Each structure stands twice: as C-alpha cells, then as structure tokens.
C-alpha cells in the first residue's frame, strides 16, 4: 500500500501543530484528498498526519480575514502561493518515523513499507 507524504518546512509545521494553521499555501492546486503523512523538510522524518479535505484558490478578501487559517505574515507571498490546501484532523506523532527520501522529491513522497526505516526485529 502506497501512502502520500507531504514535505513541509519546519516553521510551517510548527504553525500547523501548535497554532491551528489549517491551510497549507501552495502555488498549484492538488487533487489529493484523504489521509496523508506530514514530512519535515530536510529531516528524513514523518512527523505527523492529516487529511486534505479540499483545495481552493484564495481571493484578496480571504487574505485579510482568514489569516488564522493561512498564518502568512508577508501577504505579498500569497500572490504566488494562492492555493489553499485545506487540512483537517491534524495529528503530531509522539515519535517521528524515519523514511528513505527519494532523490528529487520536493512536494510529495510516495511511502510504502520499503521506504520506512522501521526496526523489524522478530
């Protein structure tokens, strides 16, 4: 079974886990829906999971009144990063899971039992 892992930089993951950020802002839309894993960029670790419940292009009104959802201080960035990937049921793992990062992956990682670095003793 293959699961999707979304690569996100640590400052944004902290906002997702600790400050209620529920829109992951990206420059393109996504058709992915359902349960995904959250990967901390550059760490080789799966640090949590969530569901992608939807995706929409934000407009100028949402930039202002929906700050609690996107939590982007420099709103100029939202001219390019204008797609809100809607996150739900966010869960941070107590113990991150190491995985094998494939060369060239920058947004998504396809995860399966072979990509996880789990100690498989007896």
Residue 29's alpha-carbon distances to 58, 82, 83, 99, 100, in angstroms, are 11, 9, 6, 26, 26
For residue 53, the model assigns a pLDDT of 98
Report the 10 Å Cβ neighbour count for 84.
22
Q: pLDDT tens for residues 36-54?
A: 999 999 999 999 999 999 9
Average pLDDT score over residue span 71-79: 93
CA geometry: angle 76, 19, 110, nearest 5 deg: 80
Residue 119, pLDDT > 60, answer no
Tell me what percent of the residues of the chain surpass a pLDDT of 90: 83
User: Three-class SS of residue 13?
Assistant: helix
For the chain, the domains span: 3-111
For residue 60, the model assigns a pLDDT of 86
Number of residues in the chain: 122
Gap between the Cα atoms of 17 and 93, Å rounded: 10
Lowest pLDDT segment from 25-29, 51-55, 64-68: 64-68
CATH superfamily of 3-111: Hypothetical protein. (2.30.130.30)
């Amino acid at each position: 079974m293959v699961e999707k892992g979304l690569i996100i930089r640590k400052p944004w993951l902290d906002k997702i886990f600790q400050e209620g950020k529920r829109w992951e802002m990206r420059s393109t839309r996504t058709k992915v829906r359902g349960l995904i894993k959250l990967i901390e960029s550059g760490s080789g670790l799966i640090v949590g999971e969530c569901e992608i419940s939807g995706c929409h292009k934000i407009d100028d009104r949402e930039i202002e009144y929906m700050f609690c959802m996107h939590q982007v201080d420099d709103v100029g960035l939202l001219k390019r990063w204008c797609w809100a990937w809607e996150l739900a049921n966010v869960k941070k793992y107590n113990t991150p899971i190491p995985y094998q990062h494939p060369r060239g992956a920058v947004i998504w990682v396809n995860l399966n039992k072979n990509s996880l670095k789990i100690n498989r003793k007896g």
